[in-house]
């Protein structure tokens, strides 16, 4: 279900991609020439890497693009054997129809083992005449240098808030959803440049009510609104430990937050809290980093968050 709206509104051509102007400009040249080298798409999730690969393939091959495309998720088939068999077998066969080459799209290529990447390097070189590779990854540093040097590298950046907001409003209109203006702003804020996350959040909220307001967005996305986090910080400063701890429990219960979610969201809102001094923000950031590490390493959630609250109260009331 979560991918349904994302797929339904995926651009069908490179020129339809929203945001990523520098990337689109270069890809448009490739789509017009119907020719391109091996490509490496790197960037955060939900910024259009898979969309760009699919749109470019459709521009090059038209409606029959599936016959000349092998799409693989490298995190599922990350071993050397997958590269030696499935990829090599597809690369060595002739293109279908009038096409001059085929395309192998490896999503999450940074999950490939070094041995698999070493085998892939040789295949990319050996079958360059009849096959093009498009590699997609979150971290290009995990791709070995010999592969990077064989590819034209494209850096995808988190989408601008204006682009996310405009696309969310467009999707809502197409799906017949009544989306309040402040609800669209909430989705944009929650997404942090990840359009897939924003569309999925819209779909989840629409499953409960086709008239979506701001409160529904926060309730269905396991995210606390900024004012609730600010109230927790003010309780630490003004009301003491027990009141702040109650406020913390209310936040966790109402919005279904895990400990790491709370710490990350609190950190995000810390720098918009005008009632805190610069020195206090610096100290609190350091404490949050320590608590987040302890939670990730398996520390008890309740006692770690209570410890953070106690530290905030002691510092802000001193």
Q: What is the pLDDT of residues 207-236, one digit of tens each?
A: 898 999 999 999 888 889 999 999 999 999
Last-in-domain residue among 186, 220, 254: 220
* pTM beyond cutoff 0.95: no
Instruction: Classify residue 34 as left (phi > 0), alpha (psi -120 to 50) or beta.
Output: left
Regarding whether 140 and 263 lie in a shared domain, the answer is no
E strand intervals along 183-227: 211-212
For residue 214, the domain's CATH number is 1.10.8.60
Regarding whether 216 and 96 lie in a shared domain, the answer is no
For 7-33, the pLDDT digits (tens) are: 777 888 888 888 888 889 999 998 898
pLDDT band at 1 (very low <50, low <70, confident <90, very high): very low
C-alpha 309/C-alpha 233 separation (Å) is 9
For residue 143, the domain's CATH number is 3.40.50.300
Q: Which residues neighbour 147 within 8 Å (Cβ) at sequence distance 6 or greater?
A: 40, 117, 120, 121, 124, 135
| pLDDT for res 18 | 80
| pLDDT for res 99 | 81
C-alpha 174/C-alpha 17 separation (Å) is 17
| pLDDT for res 285 | 93
| pLDDT for res 67 | 86
Query: Which residue range(s) make up the domain with 15?
Result: 4-155
Regarding whether 27 and 146 lie in a shared domain, the answer is yes
| pLDDT for res 295 | 94
Q: How far is CA 122 from CA 115, 118, 126, in A?
A: 11, 7, 6
Regarding whether 104 and 213 lie in a shared domain, the answer is no
For 45-97, the pLDDT digits (tens) are: 989 899 999 999 999 888 878 888 888 886 666 566 667 777 788 888 888 87
**pLDDT greater than 60 at residue 2:** no
To the nearest whole percent, how much of the chain has pLDDT over 70? 96
Regarding whether 197 and 249 lie in a shared domain, the answer is no
| pLDDT for res 62 | 85
Regarding whether 165 and 149 lie in a shared domain, the answer is no
| pLDDT for res 88 | 80
């Amino acid at each position: 279900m979560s991918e349904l709206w994302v797929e339904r509104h995926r651009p069908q051509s490179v020129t339809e991609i929203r945001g990523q102007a520098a990337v689109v400009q270069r890809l448009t040249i490739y789509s017009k020439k119907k020719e391109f080298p091996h490509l490496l798409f790197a960037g955060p999730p939900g910024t259009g890497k898979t969309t760009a690969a699919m749109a470019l393939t459709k521009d090059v091959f038209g409606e029959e693009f599936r016959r000349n495309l092998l799409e693989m998720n490298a995190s599922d088939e990350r071993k050397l054997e997958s590269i030696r068999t499935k990829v090599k077998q597809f690369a060595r066969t002739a293109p279908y129809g009038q096409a001059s080459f085929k395309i192998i799209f490896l999503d999450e290529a940074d999950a490939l083992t070094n041995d698999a990447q070493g085998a892939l390097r040789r295949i990319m070189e050996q079958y360059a005449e009849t096959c093009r590779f498009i590699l997609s990854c979150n971290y290009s540093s995990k791709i070995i240098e010999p592969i990077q040097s064989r590819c034209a590298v494209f850096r995808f950046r988190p989408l601008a808030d204006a682009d996310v907001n405009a696309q969310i409003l467009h999707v809502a209109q197409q799906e017949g959803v009544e989306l309040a203006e402040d609800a669209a702003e909430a989705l944009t804020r929650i997404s942090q440049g990840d359009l897939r996350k924003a569309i999925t959040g819209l779909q989840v909220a629409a499953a409960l009510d086709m008239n979506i307001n701001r409160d529904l967005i926060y309730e269905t996305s396991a995210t606390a609104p900024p004012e609730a986090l600010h109230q927790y910080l003010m309780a630490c400063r003004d009301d003491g430990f027990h009141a702040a701890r109650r406020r913390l429990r209310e936040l966790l219960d109402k919005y279904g937050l895990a400990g790491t979610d709370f710490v990350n969201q609190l950190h995000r809102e810390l720098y918009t809290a005008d009632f805190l001094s610069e020195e206090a923000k610096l100290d609190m950031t350091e404490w949050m980093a320590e608590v987040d590490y302890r939670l990730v390493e398996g520390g008890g959630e309740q006692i770690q968050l209570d410890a953070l609250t106690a530290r905030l109260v002691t510092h802000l009331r001193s």
